[in-house]
């Protein structure tokens, strides 16, 4: 038997699928999304041609 603190009301148990989604899938998806956003923000951009506004001949 598990000793519970006074006033503690346990919620329903998670199923195996809910546990895998919560502790494996969600963190993995967040890691991938953050990695892609970081890569997209810091990746080297292709060299653009000189603009009339920024280049004086």
- Structure confidence at residue 4 (pLDDT): 75
Query: Tens of pLDDT along 10-51?
Result: 789 999 999 999 999 999 999 999 999 999 988 877 776 666
Residues 12, 21: Cα–Cα separation, whole Å: 16
- Structure confidence at residue 48 (pLDDT): 66
Q: CB count, 10 Å around CB of 21?
A: 13
- Structure confidence at residue 1 (pLDDT): 59
Residues 43, 37: Cα–Cα separation, whole Å: 10
The answer to whether 24 touches 32, Cβ cutoff 8 Å, is no
């Amino acid at each position: 038997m598990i000793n519970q603190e006074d006033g503690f009301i346990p919620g329903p148990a998670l199923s195996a699928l809910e546990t895998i989604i919560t502790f494996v899938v969600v963190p993995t998806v967040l890691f991938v999304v953050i990695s892609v956003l970081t890569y997209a923000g810091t990746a080297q951009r292709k060299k653009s041609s000189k603009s009339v506004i920024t280049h004086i001949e």
